Amino acid sequence: MADGGVGIAGLVLGIPGLIDLCVKYGDFLRTKCSNYRHITEISRLYELIATLVMGEMSDLLQFFKSIESRLSVSTRDDVMKMFQVLRDKLESVLAILPDDKPGAWDKLKFAFHDKKLLDGACKDLEQWQSRFLRRAVTFLFFGDLSTSGETNPTARQDRVTARIKRIRSAIIDEDPGTALAKLQLQDFSSSTTFKKLDRTEIVVVEDWNELVEYRRYGSSAGPKEVNSLLRTVRDFATRLHSVDPVVMGLLKCKGFSNDAIGHKLALRFEYPTGKDNPRTLEHLLIDKQAPKHSMSNRVALASKLASAVLYLHSCDFVHKNIRPSNVLVFDDAVPHSAKLSHTTHPYVIGEPYLVGFDSVRKADARSNMIRVEEWKKNIYLHPDRHRMQDGDEFTMVHDVYSLGVVLLEVALWSSMTELGSIGKALWASLEKGKERILEPEKLREKFIELAKYYIPRCIGDKYRDVVVSCLEGLKDEEESRLLEDRDGIVIGSAYISQIMSKLEDISI
């Protein structure tokens, strides 16, 4: 295409060059968009471009320029691909917009004929921003942001690094006293009505569009135990208070309240904007009346769920109980008349959100070595969590294993807890009439066997590779050795390259 006045010639090499090119395209697009601001789609596009070349998104782009030398080879390749995609998307948008200053007739014709193209371009850019944020979060939360290794950091790099540190500090380093005052809410009144969601411990506060999860401390708990739990709940509420549910797949936490009489703390979450009718993923998987959703919808759900796990880990927490009963799926809220006239979309999976934080803990805290006895829960646990030996404390990699089992179920659209379905493969016969669940390592082997046999037939090899990576444990792709869960940035980078990128690349 013509460069439209941007003046770029030749091949641009390296992340800094690609970022500079994208910013130049963005600046030029802002100028062109100003001629069409009366069109809704252009206004939306203008805002997207503005976030790219100004404000926090621009700071993040500059941050990636400053850390190129600190990226691993695989991560650098992944980031390069990200910015090559952005460059191509910006070029395609430039091709849509006429070069010359438009007259009234040009604007009218453009509004009628090119709105769909612009709508698609906006969706592409929004999707790119979501993917970019997943990469950025690896370095913002897992990485070391110091510039001590740079010999001559520029003033701009100093400003960008300071900006990134402020972003990080605002999210994960808030003063405990401030957080407690801001997020501790009044307990519910005696007239409040509650409804427990099917197949979960989550409670709906009726008429409030609010969900509640309880952390119980027991009537015999001493002040030290209660205060320890209070700190965990406070820290967790702080992390999830500013989340973007659409991007992160986590619900925004309003705060928490203390039911001293019931000896429990309540984590309180808002419904996502425009969403309604929460159901568990387990409910959808075992619903015999529901349709088997399309492969593209299943991949989209898997990608959003994997994103939620990444963001939770980036907040320095491990979940410990990832399974379908701890994933809520919301529908788009529709008017009552639409429900009556059956104009809703039963063949579209709603938006998934990771919940079930009754056992969540800081990643650097020791796990309570409590054995899970219920087989419908322990089949999702990493084999190490069945041994319960010193050194088997819960880690981020254990969460990734649980995610792999859930993603396998999503691919097959069947629940491992259903004995009349795929779940029957998990049982070993000792003798006639006596059966038991396979031993933990055999269970993992069975999951991998199922993934390798069934998934390529329905979704393909990339999705299979994602599930197997989760179940086997994230590996160094060059040395094929398991990565130790000690260096957060290594684990986070491997998760991006082996899980997120492959899910995003699946096209059905």
For the record, the structure tokens of 39 come out as 């069109």
The answer, yes or no, to whether residue 130 has pLDDT greater than 50, is yes
Alpha-carbon gap, residue 309 to 127, rounded angstroms: 18
User: Which residue type is seen at 288?
Assistant: K
Alpha-carbon gap, residue 135 to 233, rounded angstroms: 27
Closest by CA to 349, choosing from 300, 307, 308, is 300
Alpha-carbon gap, residue 376 to 86, rounded angstroms: 43
The answer, yes or no, to whether residue 373 has pLDDT greater than 70, is no
Alpha-carbon gap, residue 171 to 196, rounded angstroms: 31
The DSSP call for residue 475 is B
If one compares 144 and 372, the residue with the highest pLDDT of the two is 372
Average pLDDT over residues 379-385: 88
Place of tokens 């008349």: 337
Highest mean pLDDT range out of 117-126, 146-155, 220-229, 359-368?
A: 220-229
Distances (CA, A) of 78 to 84, 134, 145, 399: 10, 12, 20, 23
- Give 3-state DSSP helix, strand, coil % of the chain, rounded to 5: 55, 10, 35
Closest by CA to 499, choosing from 315, 226, 306, is 306
pLDDT value at residue 433: 60
In the chain, pLDDT over 90 holds for what percent of residues? 19
Least confident span in 69-78, 124-133, 348-357, 459-468? 69-78
pLDDT value at residue 450: 96
Average pLDDT over residues 36-59: 71
Pairing of strands 434-437, 361-362: unpaired
pLDDT value at residue 146: 43
Alpha-carbon gap, residue 469 to 465, rounded angstroms: 6
Mean pLDDT of all residues belonging to the chain: 77
Domains (ranges, CATH) in the chain? 14-171 (no CATH), 174-273 (3.30.200.20), 276-508 (1.10.510.10)
> What pLDDT digit, counting tens, does each position of 184-237 carry?
888 888 888 888 887 788 899 877 889 999 988 888 888 888 888 888 888 888
The answer, yes or no, to whether residue 340 has pLDDT greater than 50, is no
The answer, yes or no, to whether residue 352 has pLDDT greater than 50, is yes
Alpha-carbon gap, residue 61 to 16, rounded angstroms: 9
**Alpha-carbon Rg for the chain in angstroms:** 25
The answer, yes or no, to whether residue 140 has pLDDT greater than 50, is yes
For the record, the structure tokens of 210 come out as 């609010």
The answer, yes or no, to whether residue 10 has pLDDT greater than 50, is no
pLDDT value at residue 211: 93
Alpha-carbon gap, residue 140 to 505, rounded angstroms: 24
Flag whether the pTM goes above 0.85.
Answer: no
